[in-house]
Each structure stands twice: as structure tokens, then as C-alpha cells.
Chain A
């Protein structure tokens, strides 16, 4: 039993190590983002969120930009939406700084392609951050790799934005499901606690100490010790020593 417990603790330690690994944060430099005026821009008149395409690396044709902007427009219902590209001729950017230089801490999402490093980044702020979580981003990233290897930048961005849309629109549609889940969580929690309460109520109070009921008298004289022999254990097991 204690051996098993030890094993179990080792495993827990193992897992904590993996947590520490996971917690190791990304290093990021403070590089300001250059703003240029040739951006594609759409402003949602209802909520003043905007959709913007900043293509420093010239990855998209004019036609593709127009198509992409159209796809981005529905996303402005939920927050700002930004496409940003960079390559060897431009500076290296970090998603968080890019987004913040445009929209600060206002709700929105960024999809960034670093053509130089053949890398995509996704960053969200505000309400969008709660829906497009890091865990989701990891999953979206995985699905983009085939586009990136084909250098199909438009397809890549379009796919990412469609995933954004699934998530963001779902975030609203799934609100009733969220409540339904709360009901189930509350019910399960209640069933569990009630059962524990039941066990407590039904607890066998009959486990009385029988020994108190016995009539026990004990008198004892001095203990005398007689050596009778010697025995030996083989093997150098120092922890076998008994003192």
C-alpha cells in the first residue's frame, strides 16, 4: 500500500513537472509596429468594430484581399478582426504587440502570417479571448499547416477566419447549452453531496467499543528477560536493523 502511494506520488510529481514545462512562458521583445495607410478597412456601423487587412509581406493579391475582407465582415459583430502579414524585408512582430498597437485592449482577434518563418499566429483580446482560447488556437494552428506548406496564404487566412466564425458564432448559439450544462453540473454535484450526506446519516453508530463493556482486570509483575539464542538475517540490508 505505502509502496503504491509512493508510486502515485511520483506520478503526481511527474505531472507537476510537465505543468512547469507548460507554464514556461514565451519570451517576447518589445517591438513597435509600423502602421501604414494602404490597409483594407471596414467599419461596422453598429458597434464600431473594424475588419482590417495589413499585408506587409504582400502575400495576397488585391482580389484575394477583397474576398478575404468580405469573409471578415461578419466577424466584426463580435469584435475587431485583423489580418497581418510580415516577411524578411519587414521587422519581426509578435502577435500581441501587433494587435495592441491597433486596438489596445478592445475585444477582437488577430490572424498573423510570418512568411519568413512560415508561421501563423493567432491572438485574441477581451471577450474573443474567452472563446478562442489557447487550447482552441492550438487546434486551429494544426489545421492550417497544410495551407502553409502549399504557400496558399489566402486559403490559410480564410480557413482560420471561418474557424473564428464557428467559434464566435457558437459562443452565442451555445449559451443555452451552457445553462443546460450548469443544470447538469448542479444536479451531479447535488447527487454526489446528497449521497455522501446519506452515508453520513446512515453511518453505523453501532461500532461501539465493545471492549469498554468487558470486565477486564490485569495485574502484572516485573518483566524478566532471558536470552535464549541468536538468529541471523543474510544480506546487507541496513534498514533491517532493529534497535
Chain B
């Protein structure tokens, strides 16, 4: 570790001054002025000519994360899981990254941003901005990698045009579209930490123009994490991103459109892959049940906040009840509280609740899939997944089958209704039966349609769409069925209407608890366990 050239005291990087500051004599230096401690490190490990990154490593015995510290302050808890079982491990010497973006926002500024974000999210539990949580933010340099891609030369894309229609055949002429292209796409970046979900790292982008060549003098006063992903992990993804950008550019050119070129792109090649450290204030907040974590991440360069926002059910309940008071007077003033209307409303609410639930469910599944993506499971593939997948696909197909069955039976019922319509009118005149029956049918149709739609987005069966053993469905299905049965039976006494509506509506109200629970699941992760992570990270 570097020492103060004046007094030999411990130094720290000061964010306000953007200078290296001596805690003892108070002298300030430019980070680049100071002699780096790399030479010393070289002596220790005798690495090649390359610069090195060295620090004291602390290992978390709960989740297996390691943090590097560069001064005398010890790591007392794990930033990734909140555990206090952190052991001082050893002195780690790594190949130094290519660049570093120093912290330019102070912890106070960033915490203020974070508190504002939490306050703006009205339903967030108060403990999320308690001092206990806020004081646990630590400045950590996260390992990132930066891609530079380039292509220059003859860019060939395929196209075709309708030529002729002859002898029951349609003929297309095929073409090669050549063009001299010189294209660069720089700055596509990814984090190199498996435990640091891409979702977060992508949402707090850094400005790489401010990146400086790596200099260990920026490190004291902060922690750093060691990369545990291979640098080539994101190669395909980077190329794909660049190709997507190029596609949009090429599509502007009318020639590609004229020749019906479906997928014009520039065949980029990776010219450079730089690794670097990016500044992040990070904390993992433990849930009350001590099983889940909410991550809060602040960009140490821009101050942008990305945090998991859970919902405090009590806050939501209070807000809803208060909001219900004006709504009650509004509903009463309409003077439309008739038994069949209430029944219809219950059906409508059940549909709306189902739609929200299914949408959130899909989001949740997407999140789980994303988490398992490149980050977590890049080095070890789960053998179980394929088996699980076929099992889940079966379930999803079952749901689609049931939904289709529902849609078809509704269609048949509609047909019967239409055919019988004339006869009904002749017998009884305008009965209102048709209104109500049609309404119920539209509602049920919509409901089945929702399940079909969500289990089968874009015609592709969603293997992760599993809704069985779900407490939401236990409530929502009866809340749809009870009013439907009442409409069909059409009892003389309104009493049944009121009772069925009240039962149905109470079930719907209860189901909102499940909705909030699902929302909270979306905003949390299970606490990582050591055995789930593969091997030793540092080489």
C-alpha cells in the first residue's frame, strides 16, 4: 500500500478533492503524481512486467464473496449478503485492470439520492431508508469490461425480390448486397461478477470517457471486488448488441428495404477488450424474514440509484383504504348499485386482478431466467434444467389447453345464445337475460384468453409459466365462478346476488395480498449460499 511521501502515514482517496489525502499530515497529492505501490507488489509475487492490483482479501463464509481492502480498515461485514462472518483471508495480487473510473460523488451525496428514490416510491417500507441500512453503503470498485468493436471492408447482406409467378410457383431473385463499410462501436460494457446481476449493472451506466489508466492510488478508502467471470463470457452478447445497432442504421438505407433484406448487419469483430474498475456504492439489505435480500446500488460516478423496491403491505393497505373513502361516495352517487351490476363488477375486478397477476408472474419468471443467465451459471450448467424445463413446458401446455377449451366452450355458448336469441324474444320479450349472459361470456372469454395469452406469448409456450399450487388462484377462481353461477341461476331474491358479490369481492381483496407478495418477490433475491457458488474465484 502506498504511503504518504511526507510522513509515511496512511493515505486515502478523497472524493471531494479528487486527490489523494494523507490522514496524518493532511497533505494532498494528485493520484498520478504519487509513486504507485506496484513495484512493491512485484517483489512479492514476481509477476511479469504488468502492473498489479494488490490488497487484503476478506472472505465471507456465508456467501463466499471476497472483497479487497486497500488500507488498514478491516471489512467487518459482507456487502453482498450482510453477514458478519467475514474472515481476513490473505494478500491477493492480481493482474491490474486496464482502467479505473474514480469515485466522483461522495457517499453523502449518493445516500441523499438513495433516500430520495426510496421516498419517491411511496409504498416502500421505512426501514429501507433507516440509518441502519444507509450506514451500510460501502464504496466498492466493481470489475467491468469494455468492448470495442470494429468492421471495415465489404459488408455483404442477402436480399431477394419477387420475380415471377409461373406454373404455380412463385419465383424470387436472390441478391448479394455489397457495400463498403467502416463501422466502429465502442463502449459496450458488462460487469465481470457472477453475483452482481446484470440487471443492476446495466441500469447504472458509466461514462467511460472519464476513465483513467489504472492507478492503485485511487483505491485506498474503498473496497474492490475480484472478477470471477472469464473476459470472453460476453463476447457473443457484445457482438449481438453492436449488430442490432448497425441493423437500425442499415435499415435507413432504402436499398436494403427494396431488396427485402430481413436482417442486414455489419459483421463486427472485437478489436479490444478492456477490463476496468467502476465505482459503486453498494449494500444488501436483509429482509425481516432474514431469507431475502434487497440490493441497493448507486453509481459512484453519476449518483444514479438502482434499488430493489419492496412494498410495505401495511402502507399499501392504508393508502387503499383511504382512497376507498372518496370512491365509496363516488360509487354511491352513481346510483347504479344493482345486484347484477355488483356481480358484474366482481367479475371485472377478478379479470383485472388476474391480468396484473399474470403480467407480474411473467416478469418474475423473466427475472429468474435472467439471474440464471450469463452471470450465475456461466461456469456450471445445471443438468436438472432441461428435465425441469420439459416438465414445466408440459404444465404450461396444460394451461393453454384448458384456456383454449374455455374459449371454445364460450364460443359455442355464444352461438347457442345467438340462435336462441330470437326464440327467447318471441317467448318472453326483452328479458335482459341476453345482456347479462353476454356480459358473463365476454368476461369469461377474456379470462380464459388471459391465461392463454400469458402462457403462450407470441405463440411460444412459456416453460416457466407455472401457476399451480398458487394461493392467488385459490382465491381468484372461486371469485370468478361464484358470480357466474348466480347469473346463470338467476334467483328471484337479490339476497343471493349481494351475498355472492360480497364473497367474490372479499376473495379478490384477499388476492391483492398475493399480488403484493409477488411484487416483493420481484424486488428481492434469496441470500446466496456458499455451496451454490463454484470454486475459488481468484486465480
Contact = CB atoms under 8 A, between A and B. Distances in A.
B432 A138 contact: yes
A230 interface: yes
Interface in A184-231: 184-196, 198-199, 201-202, 204, 206-208, 210-211, 213-231
Contact of B431 (A134, A186, A206, A225): A134
B120 interface: yes
B498 A221 contact: no
Contacts of B123: 198, 201-202
A135 B176 CA distance: 69
Contacts of B163: 230
Given A11-B411, A177-B498, A231-B160, A221 B181 contact: yes
A182 B331 contact: yes
A25 to B, nearest CB: 7
Contacts of B180: 220-222
B331 A189 contact: yes
Contact of B342 (A181, A198, A213): A181
Residue of A14, A184, A225 contacting most chain B CB atoms (<10 Å): A184
B337 A182 contact: yes
A35 interface: no
Contacts of B434: 18-19, 21-22
A215 B431 contact: no
The range of chain A's interface size is: 35 or more
A189 B415 contact: no
A225 B175 CA distance: 6
Q: Secondary structure of the B side of the interface?
A: helix
Interface stretch (A66-74, A106-114, A166-174): A166-174
Interface stretch (B16-24, B130-138, B422-430): B422-430
B320 A216 contact: no
Interface string A125-144: 00000100111111111010
A17 B417 CA distance: 10
Contacts of A214: 185-188, 245
A62 B344 CA distance: 46
A22 B438 contact: yes
Contact of B120 (A18, A170, A201, A216): A201
A188 B505 contact: yes
Nearest to A224: B178
Nearest to A225: B175
Interface stretch (B57-65, B249-257, B391-399): B249-257
Interface stretch (A44-52, A80-88, A149-157, A234-242): A234-242
B321 A240 contact: no
A188 B430 contact: no
A222 B179 contact: yes
A186 to B, nearest CB: 4
Contacts of B207: 213
Contacts of B346: 188
B519 A141 contact: no
Q: Which 6 A-B pairs have the closest CB atoms?
A: A206-B203, A22-B434, A21-B421, A221-B180, A135-B432, A190-B324
26 contacts: A14-B415, A130-B338, A133-B432, A134-B429, A134-B430, A135-B431, A139-B490, A182-B337, A185-B345, A188-B346, A189-B331, A198-B311, A202-B311, A213-B187, A215-B184, A218-B182, A218-B249, A220-B181, A220-B253, A225-B175, A225-B176, A226-B175, A234-B168, A234-B169, A241-B165, A242-B160
Interface of A: 1, 4, 7-8, 11-12, 14-15, 17-19, 21-26, 130, 133-141, 143, 163, 166-167, 170-171, 174, 177-196, 198-199, 201-202, 204, 206-208, 210-211, 213-237, 240-243
Interface of B: 120-123, 155, 159-163, 165, 168-188, 202-205, 207, 241, 245-246, 249-250, 253, 255-256, 259-260, 266, 306, 309, 311, 316, 319-321, 323-325, 327-328, 330-332, 337-338, 340, 342, 345-346, 349, 352-353, 356, 407, 410-411, 414-415, 417-418, 421-422, 424-425, 428-436, 438, 441-442, 445, 449, 452-453, 458-459, 490-495, 498-499, 501-502, 505-506, 508-509, 512, 515-516, 519, 523
